[in-house]
Amino acid sequence: MGSTVLSLRVDGELLDRIRRHAARSGMSVQDYVVRTLMRDDFDARFEAAVDETERFYGRG
């Protein structure tokens, strides 16, 4: 899988907070943002799967 560039305009205060979070995690800002987006995407897909399972089996 290749990569693509995504450009974001971010408020300076938010960028500083992201930098601090990334530094605490020992990550670059880019890696931290990508990891956060991937985690959020997983959470959304997992929640959708649970909802679909509940619809299929009926809510207990």
Q: For position 60, what pLDDT does the model report?
A: 54
Residues 12-54: pLDDT tens digits?
999 999 999 999 999 999 999 999 999 988 888 999 999 999 9
Q: 21 Cβ partners below 8 Å, 6+ apart? A: 32
Q: How far is CA 3 from CA 6, 34, 43, 54, in A?
A: 10, 12, 22, 36
What's the CA gap between 38 and 40, in Å, rounded?
A: 5
Q: Left, alpha or beta for 27 (phi > 0: left; psi -120 to 50: alpha)?
A: beta
Q: 18 Cβ partners below 8 Å, 6+ apart? A: 10, 29, 32, 33
